[in-house]
Structure 1
Amino acid sequence: MAFRQPLSRYGQCNSYFVETQDDGVYAARAEERERARAIARMQQRALAEELSRMTAEEYQEDIMDHMEYMESQTLPDVNSIDIQTEIQWFMRPYLLDFLVEAHAAFQLLPETLFLAVNLLDRYCSRRVVYKRHYQLVGCAALLIAAKYGDKKDRVPTVRELKSMCCSLYDDEMFTQMEWHVLQTLNWIIGHPTVDAFLQVALAEGPFDPEVEHMSLYIAEIALFHKEFVSTRPSILARSSLALARCILSRNDHKVSEWAATYDPQTVMSLSNHLYQPSQVLSRKYSSMHLSNVSTTVDEFLQRQAQIARRAAAPPTPPASVGLEEPKSMSDAYGPQTPQKNHYSAAVLQHGCLTPPITPENEQFVAKSLPMAPTTYPTTPTPEHPANMHQAQYYHNTYIQPQPQY
C-alpha cells in the first residue's frame, strides 16, 4: 500500500522546507537589527571613553602629584650601591642584557622592565648582594614586576626562569629571593616608571608610534648607565621625548608646560650615550614592530659625524672685493702682495722683491739690484683691510704650529 501524503491547508507541497518571498524580508530585518545593536555598542564605548577622559582630566592634577611623590620615595641610592663588597658597576650591563632578553622572550609590557630594574636597584641599595646571587635577584625582580602590572597569562613561571638561568638555582631559591625582596622593600612595589610618565606626555599630542618607540629606546639605554640610576623618571621621560623628537625632526606640538619642560643637561648626557648602545638592546629595537629606531639612530649619528668633520676642516678665505680671481693655488692661499708697475730705488733699498713677483726686464734686475743681504727685513704689511685679513689667516694657518690629531 503506497503512502499518501495528507493535504495541508496551505495547498500541495512536495517538501517541508518551503521557500517563499517573505524569507528575504525576514533576513533583511535580522541584519538591520544586528547592525543597530553594533551601532549601539559603539556608541556606548564612545560614551564610556568620553566619561573616562573627563574623569581623568578632573583628577589629572592629583594623579600627577601622587606620581611625583611616589617617584621621590622609590628612587634607589647610588651611594649605597657603591659600597657593595662583591657586585660592581661593570657587572650591571651583563645582568640588564639578560633581563632585556627575558623581557622580550615573555613579551611583557615596557613598564615591567623599568619596574624590574627599579626593584633590583632598590634592593641593592638596602642589602648586601653576593656576586653569585646577583642574577637571582634580577629574576626575582622581574617576576615581581610581571605579577604586579603585566598580563596574567604572560607572567613567567619559576620553571621558565630556572631554565633561562641554566638551572643554576633551585626552585626554592627563586621563591625565597622573591619573598626576601618584598620584605626588604616593605612590600612597596608601586613605582611610577619612565613609561608611565612618557604616556602622559605623549597623550597631549597626536599619536606617533615612531616617536614613542624612539623615546623608549633612549630611556632603556639610560638603564645601563650609573648616572641615570637616581634620575627622576619624570625628568628622564621628558628628556628622552625631547631627544627623540630632535632625532626624528618632529616639530614640538602645543602641549602643557609640564610636558614641554625637560632638563638640557640630561638631554646632553643621553645623547652622549647613543654611540655605543647594548647589542641586545640594539637588536631588540631593530625590528619593524618597534619602527626600526636603532637603525635610525645609527644613521643620525653618521650624519652628525659628517657634519662635524666638515666643520673641523679649515675654511676657505673670503674673496677680496675688487681683486681678480687668483690664477694659482699660491695666490689663493698665500698673502696677497700689491702689484706695482715700477720698482724705484726707494723700494729696492729695503730688501729684495717679494716672490713670486719679478720685474719684466731681467737685465734690470741683474744690473740695478745690489747684492741681497743675508737676512732680509720683514715685508711691510699691506694696508688694504682685506689683504690684512688674508695675511693674518695665512699666518695662523701655515706659520703657527698645528695641533696633532
Structure 2
Amino acid sequence: MAYQQQTQSRYGHCDSFFVDTHNDGIYAVRAEQRERARAIARMQQRAIAEELSRLTSDEYQEDIMDHMEHMESQTMPDVNSIDIQTEIQWFMRPYLLDFLVEAHAAFQLLPETLFLAVNLLDRYCSRRVVYKRHYQLVGCAALLIAAKYGDRKDRVPTVRELKSMCCSLYDDEMFTQMEWHVLQTLNWIIGHPTVDAFLQLALYEAAYDPEVEHMTLYIAEIALFHKEFVSTRPSVLARSALALARCILSRNQSKQSDWAGAYDPVTVLNLSNHLYQPSQVLSRKYASLHLSSVSTTVDEFLQRQAQITRRAAAPPSPPATLQSEERKPNTDTYLGPQTPQKNHYSAVMQHGCLTPPITPENEQFGDSNIGKSQGLLPRLYPSTPTPVPDVHHPQPQYYNGQYIHAQHVQ
C-alpha cells in the first residue's frame, strides 16, 4: 500500500485494475457529463438549423409551391394510355397494390415512397406495353427506385429481398434490367411531388395532430386503388383527403382563403364513397396503434352514419317517444364537407372487392357487380395477379396460401 501511495504521488492517478482505488466512478461520471454536453450541443445545432430552414422556406414558399405544381403537371400518368394495354387490366391493379403496400410496410419505408412508387408504375404503364407476367416486376422496380430516391439508405430493399418476396419468380438480373428500363422510359425524371409532400405543406401552419395526418394518409392510400383518382393531381387529392379526414374526426376545417382549405368538393364526395370498401391489407395496416387505428375509427364513423340514416328513414314515432327522438345524435356537429349516407351499410363489404384465390380473367370478371349479385363471400387477395398459363413461360400457382413455382424461363 505504501508503494501504491508513493506511485500515485509521483506519477498521478493510474486507472488500472492493479491499483486498488475508490475513485473509479469519477471517470465514469465525467464521461457521462461530456456525452450529455455533446447531446445538448447537437440539439441546439439542430434547433438552429430548423429555425434557419423555416425562415428560408417562408421566404421561398411561393417559389417552392409553383415548382411543385409545375412538376406534378409534368409527371402525371395518362389513364387513356393505360386503358389500351393489351394484357394488364384495371382489375389487376388491387392485387399489385396490395403487394406493394405489404412490401412498403415490411421495409418500414416513408409514406411518400409508396405514392412515388405507384406514380412511377403508372407512368411506365402509360408509355410501354407491359406483359402480365412482368407486372409485378415493374412494381418492384418502381418501389426500388422510389426508395433509392427519397428514403433512408439503410431501409432501401435489396434485390435479394425483393426476389424472396416475389417467391423467386424473377432472376436478379431481371430486377436490374427492369429498373434501368423504367428509368430510361421516364427520361430519368423521378421527382414527382407526392400527396404526402403537399399534405406536409397543408399541415405546416396548423398544430401537429398525428391522428389527422394518419387519417389523411389512409384516405389517400385508399384512392390509389381506384382508377378515377389516377388522373387527380396530388395537390387536389391531399387537400380533399385532409378535409374529409377532419370531417370524420370532427376537427375544425381550414379557412377557404388558405391554400389548405381550397379543397375540391367533388373529389371529397368521391373519396367518401370509397370508404366503405377499403383493401383488407390497407385496413389491417392502418388498424395498428402507431398509425392511430384510423381504419377502426372510419368503420365506427360509418356505422354511426348508417344508424342516423336508418333513424331518418324510419316511420314517424308516436308522441310518447318524442323525448327519445330529441336525444338522437346531431348530424350538424361534423364540420366541413359531409360524408354521403349509405342506406344499407350492413350489407356492404368492408374488406375489398370479391375475388377468388386465383386472379380471374377480365372477360369473366369484368363487371364488379357480379360478385354482389351472386352473394359471394369476400376472400383474401393473392399478392399479385396470376398470369395466364404459358408453356414457354410457366407461372407459379397459388394454392392453400402458398405459391407452387416452376423454374422461371426468361
TM superposition score normalised by structure 2: 0.70
Distance apart, 1:202 and its partner CA: 1.1
Unaligned runs of 5+ in 1: 320-405
Q: Give the structure 1 partner of residue 113 of structure 2.
A: 112
- The alpha carbon displacement at 1:176 in A equals 1.2
In the TM superposition, 1:363-402 aligns within 5 A as none
> Does structure 2 conserve the Cα–Cα contact (< 8 Å) formed by 1:126 and 1:184?
yes
1:268-307 paired onto structure 2 within 5 Å: 268-307=269-308
Q: Deviations over 1:64-105 (max 9, x none)?
A: 100000000000011111111111110000110011111111
Q: Do the aligned partners of 2:254 and 2:260 also contact (CA within 8 Å) in 1?
A: no
The match for 1:188 is 189
2:161 is paired with a residue of what secondary structure?
A: helix
In the alignment, the residues of structure 2 paired with residue 9 and residue 128 of structure 1 have an alpha-carbon distance, to the nearest angstrom, of 83
In percent, how many aligned pairs have the same letter?
84
The equivalent of 1:67 in structure 2 is: 68
CA contact (8 A) 1:143 1:155 kept: yes
Query: Which residue is 2:404 aligned to?
Result: none
**CA distance in structure 2 between the aligned counterparts of 1:209 and 1:227, rounded to whole angstroms:** 28
Q: Are residues 1:219 and 2:238 paired?
A: no
The residue aligned with 1:125 is 126
| 1:24-63 → structure 2 map (5 Å cutoff) | 39-63=40-64
**How much has 1:42 moved relative to structure 2?**
3.6
Answer with 189-198 or 41-50: which moved more.
Answer: 41-50
Distance of 2:3 and 2:240 partners within structure 1: 86
Higher relative contact order (CA 8 A, sep 6+): 2
Residue 250 of structure 2 is matched in structure 1 by 249
Write the distance in 2 (CA, Å) between the matches of 1:155 and 1:212: 24
Name the CA distance, whole Å, in 2 between partners of 1:317 and 1:115.
57
Distance 1:140 1:315, change over 3 A: same
| Deviation for aligned residue 1:315 | 3.0
Report the Cα distance in structure 2 between the residues aligned to 1:274 and 1:6, rounded to whole angstroms: 79
Whole-Å separation in 2 of the counterparts to 1:215 and 1:108: 18
Across the two proteins, how many residue pairs are aligned to each other? Answer: 312
| Distance change in 2, residues 1:318/1:130 (3 Å) | same
What one-letter code is carried by the residue in structure 1 that aligns with 2:75?
A: T
Q: Which amino acid aligns with 2:245?
A: A
CA distance in 2, matches of 1:48, 1:136: 41
Q: Which SS does the other structure have where 1:177 is aligned?
A: helix
> Which AA in structure 2 matches 1:264?
P
In the TM superposition, what is the alpha-carbon distance from 1:314 to its structure 2 partner? 2.5
- Alignment-mate amino acid for residue 308 of structure 2: I
Shift of 1:158: 1.2
Counterpart AA for 2:270: S
- Structure 2 distance, partners of 1:256, 1:165, is 48
* Alignment RMSD (CA, Å): 3.0
Tell me the TM-score normalized by structure 1.
0.71
Give the letter aligned to residue 108 of structure 2. Answer: Q
Q: Which residue of 1 aligns with 2:102?
A: 101
In structure 2, distance between residues paired with 1:230 and 1:184: 20
Q: Report the Cα offset of residue 154 of structure 1.
A: 1.1
Task: In structure 2, give the amino acid aligned to 1:222.
Answer: A
Q: After the TM superposition, which of the residue ranges 138-147 and 42-51 deviates more from structure 2?
A: 42-51
- Rg comparison, structure with higher value: 1
Aligned partners of 1:204 and 1:255 also within 8 Å:
no
Residue equivalent to 1:172:
173
Between the aligned partners of 2:283 and 2:36, the Cα distance in structure 1 is 47
Q: Specify the alignment match of 2:371 in structure 1.
A: none
Give the partner amino acid of 1:215.
T
CA separation of 1:189 and 1:8: change in aligned 2, threshold 3 A: closer
AA at the equivalent of 1:127: R
- How many angstroms apart in 2 are the aligned matches of 1:299 and 1:32? 51
Q: Distance in 1 between matches of 2:166 and 2:202?
A: 37
Matches within 5 A, 1:136-215: 136-215=137-216
**SS of alignment partner, residue 176 of structure 1:** helix
Q: Give 1:43 shift.
A: 3.3
- Residue of structure 2 equivalent to 1:234: 235
